[in-house]
Amino acid sequence: MPEFAGSGIDHLNLPVADLAASVAFYEPVLATLGISTLIAAPEGPGQKAMHAFGVHPKPFFWLVQSGTDGPRYDEDTHVAFTAADRATVDAFHTAALAAGATTLRPPGVWAEYHPTYYGAFVSDPNGVNLEAVCHAPA
């Protein structure tokens, strides 16, 4: 794997109660953003089952099996993914709803962030506030 330089968040682990159901939700939703499954690690000694998404070769979004009860999320748990353009934000929103999400804020310009901030916010089946955002002008 190549070395990556720079600063910022390298990856994020999100605990989920039902890994298979969460993977089934995220695969079609993240595919709209060009993000795909890169690693599926089974449970083993000292290792929880995990599923990593990213852009080849770099996984950066990991779902981790947390157990039968699972975590409790609220609207403050937020993960935003960059979209290349506004049509991709729209596709993310459509795919998320089809996969079982609910709309928090429909696709649109959210000028309170900046004049060209185009995003869509959904709640995934675990209660996580997900967003796809494009910062480019229309």
CA-closest candidate to residue 61, choices 130, 135, 6:
130
Label the pairing between strands 129-134 and 118-123.
antiparallel
DSSP 84: S
Q: Looking at residues 58-64, what average pLDDT do you find?
A: 96
Please write the tens of the pLDDT for every residue from 26-37: 999 999 999 999
What is the CATH code for 12-134? 3.10.180.10
Share of the chain above pLDDT 90, in %: 78
First vs last C-alpha separation in the chain: 36
Q: Measure Cα distances from 133 to 14, 32, 42, 84, 102 in Å.
A: 20, 12, 32, 8, 17
CA-closest candidate to residue 132, choices 60, 35, 58:
35
Higher pLDDT, 12 or 67: 12
Please write the tens of the pLDDT for every residue from 72-112: 777 778 999 999 999 999 999 999 999 999 999 999 999 99
Query: Cα 90 to the chain's mean position, in Å?
Result: 15
Residue 32 and residue 79: Cα distance in Å, rounded? 16
- CB atoms inside a 10 Å sphere around CB 56: 9
